Amino acid sequence: AISVAYVGLPLWIDELHTSWSISGRVGDISERAAAGNQSPLYFYLLNLFTTLTGHTETSLRVFSVVCAWGSVLALNWICRRFQLPGWAAFFATVTFAASHLQLLFAVEARSYSLLTLLVLLLLCVQTLRIQSDGKQIHWRIEGLWLLTAGCCIYTHYIAIPAVGSLALASLLAGNQSWRDRGKIFTIQIVVLALFLASQFSTLQQIYHHRSQWAVFIHADAATPKALLTTLPVISTLLIPGALLLAALLREGEAGRRSLNSSFLLTVLILTSLPYLASWTTTRMDWVNWFFPRYLVTSLPALSLFGAFCLAFIEQNRCFPRLINWTLIGLTLLVFFWLDSDVIHNASHLRINPKVERWDLVAATLNAEAEGSGTILLAGGLVEDRRLPEQAGARHTANLTIAEYCRFPLQGIYTIPDNLTVRAVNSNYVDFQQLLSHLSQTPQGWLVARGKNRNIALRELLIRLKGEDGFKDYQIPGKVNLYSWTTSE
């Protein structure tokens, strides 16, 4: 219900990239997705969806909302397959669906909601393998696993650690013989290697541009505190895990026999390996990807781990029943107190905190722009920091860096054809490129994104043009529009 309230809001810049990616020809989708370091499957599916429903903010976001609903259904299917009690399924659902990250990505026109659904579906297939008789390899299940894994990778490259973790879990946490598990693992690795080989050039480009991530994901952000607070690990991993360990020590061998260790180890691997890998590589300042949106593949596994641990404790009467239910209730309270801002954010209408009124920018330009002119765009992209020196360099096979950096004004919010968009370097320390353009252009428009950038730009315009030499449209949010008609 909260998600539905947000689907019609204006798009922010990452969602504008989605809109731009599907605005051209179908043959351009893959290249435009790769320009943003993303896989193409989500964009093909969204293009098909918007062909049927129209290219609007609502239609772009509804697809993500539907995927989020599907994720909740897949999560509950797993709970039912293992016959978890209703309260445990409720715990898993609440800690997953009410996670502030899951709720955020459910209302955004980006690929993360679809990716979460596909990882959950891959976990569903893994569940079928765990619950099989274990006497032989079920090749239909393995084929379905490989197909779903391929869909994950072709949706977003951050699925690679999650898929690799589940492949490792197939080896370590299966119920087949070690020989059969070895065969399955070998086949998985070979096929996954073929998937990755087909995307080698794009992956190579991402690796070479990894320094761009360090612009907004700093190595010093990967602190021990961040490891505990970026995802809801306290209420879904640490507390349930500690309670499970205490219960197993109390119950002894009988407790260990009744524990579904294969699935529990599977979700623990899916939870911990990508999360710890991202934290470690960011801490080392090697590949900086310890950032919420790159960690969504761990969210469902966290909720399932917590639910399975608490269900084991209650079903086996590991502690007196009153203590069991008190511990379960306290764990849920910790989730809402420490691990999720959803109640506070929902009450303050801040589920999606990105306020960027690109729609008003486009509407103003369409209403007031007369004749030909130039729009200088300081979009705050990591790519535009390479301008103007590398303006003509190839960002993809058919796009230069300068052409790519114009995408915010070439998607859903169209501007008059008589206006030319020119991307400029967004570095607001000295604005060298922008100073040159402002001095040479007698009249024009300037669009800038970022609170601090707009403060600095306004001071620059006052210094160059005077208080009355330009117009500040004071558009609310992080994006603003300026115009001038004379040069000093």
Q: pLDDT class for 133, splitting at 50, 70, 90? A: confident
Task: Write out the two tokens for 21.
Answer: 């990616």
Cis peptide preceding 388, ω within 30 of 0? yes
pLDDT band at 347 (very low <50, low <70, confident <90, very high): very low
Average pLDDT over residues 314-336: 88
User: How do residues 43-57 score in pLDDT, each as one tens digit?
Assistant: 999 999 999 999 999
- By the 8 A CB rule, do 255 and 316 touch? yes
Residues 433, 309, single domain; the answer is: no
First-last CA distance in the chain: 54
- pLDDT reported for residue 441: 75
- The closest alpha carbon to 117, from 147, 152, 163, 76, belongs to 152
Q: Which of 299, 323, 347 is the last residue of a domain?
A: 347
Indicate the average pLDDT of the chain. Answer: 88
Same domain, 193 and 341: yes
* Structural domain boundaries, residue 236: 4-347
Higher model confidence: residue 346 or residue 380?
380
Does 382 map to a domain?
yes
Indicate the Cα dihedral angle 428, 432, 436, 439, nearest 10°. Answer: 60
Note whether 326 and 372 are same-domain residues. no
Residues 328 and 472 in one domain: no
Q: Do 324 and 374 share a domain, yes or no? A: no
- What's the pLDDT score for residue 3? 61
Tell whether 98 and 237 lie within a shared domain: yes
pLDDT: which is higher, 340 or 315: 315
Assess if residue 353 is contained within a domain.
no
Q: How many CA atoms lie within 13 A of 263 on its CB side?
A: 28
Beta carbons within 8 Å of 311's beta carbon, 6+ residues apart: 84, 85, 88
Domain limit, last residue, from 291, 324, 347: 347
The model's pTM is 0.91
Q: Is the same domain home to 400 and 259?
A: no
Same domain, 127 and 227: yes
* Cα gap 129→117, rounded to integer Å: 19
Here the tokens at position 3 are 């998600």
Q: Give the per-residue pLDDT at 50.
A: 95
Measured CA to CA, the distance from residue 313 to residue 239 in angstroms comes to 12
Q: Are residues 154 and 266 in the same domain?
A: yes
Same domain assignment for residues 264 and 392: no
Whether the pLDDT of residue 406 is over 80: the answer is yes
Domain total of the chain: 2
pLDDT bucket at 280, cuts 50 / 70 / 90: very high
Among 328, 347, 366, residue at a domain's last position: 347
